A and B are shown apart, each in its own frame.
Chain A
Amino acid sequence: MVEITDVVCSLCGCVCDDIVVEVEDNNVTKVKKGACSVGKSKLMGHGRIESPAIRENGSLKDCSYDDAIKKAAEILAAARRPLLYGWSSTVCEADKVGVELAEEIGAVIDNTASVCHGPSVLAIQDVGLPSCTLGEVKNRADLIIYWGANPAAAHANHMKRYSYITKGYWTAEGKKNKKLIVVDVRRTATAKMADVFLQIEQGKDYLVFSALRAMLYGYEDVVPEVVGGVSKKDLLETVRMMKEAKFGIIFFGMGVTHTGARHNNIVNAIQTTRAAHTHTKFNIMPMRGHYNVAGINQVCTWETGYPFAVDLSRGYAWYNPGEHSATDLLIRRECDVALFIASDPGAHFPGESIRHLAKIPVIQIDPFPNPTTEFADVVIPAAISGIEAEGNVYRMDNIPIRLRKLVDTEYMADEEILERILGEVRAIKEKEGE
């Protein structure tokens, strides 16, 4: 039995890195400390895809890695509008090969930001993002606001590692000298812990942000008595708390990114942060979901110039979310081939896009079976990053941390699978060129 410390969790954007596990007979047998229940479940492992497979006459037939990789390469090399999607639950080293593959075959490469914090990225491209690392929040923040986010359910360690409950340099007394505000459409588990809970009418966040901004700039006279279901009195009190904080932070989630004004909600949230910043230190941060969605955004940006929904069909990158995001392409039935890696569109995408996926060749690279496996034509099982394969990931605050390899495996790592597919694609194209 071996004890491994400083293990890094590969589940959510918290990327907790102080986990301690026990490994015996090449299996993680115990998670001793550091992980939340969801992270623990991933580390302990569960059912996975056992063998590469190719679908013949409607059912998956087991085959070798070589056969599956060759088949995948054939399909991709012949495509006129291939989509390469996912990338958020694997390591940056694999992401780099993905971008290279997309460029080689003139594909659209997109990642889960499209269905998650893509709107936040759009907002950042409009107004920027005044932010910080999570340790800054831990050491300095005395006012924490969760807006459209419910960490008690979705990012279980967030408050005790980084924000409300933790203790830091100027926050040695923990939550005693901090204030927690939760803004949401319903009273969530996190809302129950808050000092102030603002219940907003569904889809009205945009109006509330504009009202707060007007008040922060001193124009409260023009603001009506009720905005988005929130009373002017409550808004004024919120503004007072913001002004009097030494360091305020807004964490926001899907509650604002995908309702009402969507990405413009985030633009407005950021502008509210900037208005607060005229009084005191104020930052804002998106609660990234997948543990390495920030990573594929980083890699894709420095390699192509853009963070997601990148169309490489003309040999250079063109970026226009809403046009080249995976869901748009699929709902419009634009793609003739799709490759899904480290993601589960079968579970998360709109029904219309799944209908189209059922009609075109689909390649899946993943350790675990999921709804996407039900219609994939080529299935390639991958080693689990953070347990069987090491590599770089970026936490929700863009801090890079290296996942550890805890056990050995027969499964092939994402990076190697992609390198081989790329190699086969190049061989096919060279042959065609002759």
Chain B
Amino acid sequence: MEELIEEERKKMQTIRLKLKEEITSGIAKIPVEVDSLTPDKLFGKNEAEIKAVKVWWGNKEENTGDLFDVSVEGEAASADEVKIVMEGDLSRVKHIGDGMKAGEIEALGDVDMHCGAMMQGGRVTVKGNADCWAGREMRGGELIIEGDAGDNLCAMYRGEMTGMTGGKVTVGGDAGECVGQYMAGGEILIKGNAGILTGLNMKGGKITIEGDAIMPGADMTGGEITVKGKVRDMMPSFKFVETATIEGEEYKKYLGDLAMTEKRAKGVLYVK
């Protein structure tokens, strides 16, 4: 059995990227943008090549090796077998996992904005908090944030009418404002509380808030929101339908948002 586990472990290639201390120890904490460092983009590169991949740090492109300590362990036969572990002060590292298609990223600490944005596949785990726009326009894959998530989790980009379309997101702590704005598909679970306007403009998919929510479901035209905690400032334009039992608990079921006109109000809101 141990041999089997060892064999399986060997199948994973682990790329460790540790942000050098001097990058964020200055007076100005200029974010490093790592959209070029996803498992699928690094797959097939050796350590020297990874160190030469360009990343933006403010208005200059730098070599990854100049900003991160890089080490590579193991082999990968495909991008699925690539795991990137990011360490150091990641609170100013933006776009972790942005657009990734396969493989794994583990971030050991709080991460900056756009973590997991436009993800298509694979898995990102944040062992800390994530700043705003985590999971923005996500299409697939899995995003796990063990701490809190900032505003606009899985929301759309400004001006778009579609945000998240697929994938699964779990937040261990609280989430900020406008969770899942313009969501069209996929699943979001918030174990803590959510900020105002959860599921704003939602048209598909499913959001579950285990804690409290404020003005959930505004302008929704489809999809489903379940709030297990308390709702503050219930929308005045929702229509009570009936009481429903979900997993042995009683919920009030509402249809909304009638402010979008009745014809379009096909969103469902369950409130305990």
Contact = CB atoms under 8 A, between A and B. Distances in A.
A contacts B: CB pair < 8 Å? yes
Interface of A: 79-82, 105-107, 122, 125-126, 204, 206-207, 210-211, 213-214, 217, 219, 222-224, 227, 260-261, 264, 271, 275, 312-314, 319-323, 332-336, 356, 359-360
A336 B236 contact: no
27 contacts: A79-B59, A81-B58, A82-B59, A105-B59, A122-B158, A210-B218, A210-B257, A210-B259, A214-B237, A217-B262, A219-B237, A219-B239, A222-B237, A222-B239, A223-B237, A260-B196, A261-B196, A261-B197, A264-B218, A271-B219, A271-B259, A313-B58, A320-B133, A320-B158, A333-B28, A336-B26, A360-B28
A322 B112 CA distance: 13
A323 B233 contact: no
Interface string B80-117: 00000000000010000000000000000000010000
Contact of B259 (A204, A217, A320): A217
A259 B236 CA distance: 19
B244 interface: no
Given A125-B158, A261-B196, A322-B151, A210 B59 contact: no
A360 B27 CA distance: 8
B76 interface: no
B270 interface: no
Contacts of A79: 59
Nearest to A320: B158
Interface string B139-173: 00000000000011000011100000000000000
Contacts of A206: 197, 215, 218
Contacts of A227: 236
A222 B56 contact: no
Given A207-B233, A207-B236, A222-B236, A334 B259 contact: no
A334 B31 contact: yes
Secondary structure of the A contact surface, majority rule: loop
A223 B158 contact: no
B237 A264 contact: no
Nearest to A125: B159
Nearest to A216: B259
B261 interface: yes
A321 B133 CA distance: 11
Interface in B28-74: 28-31, 56-60
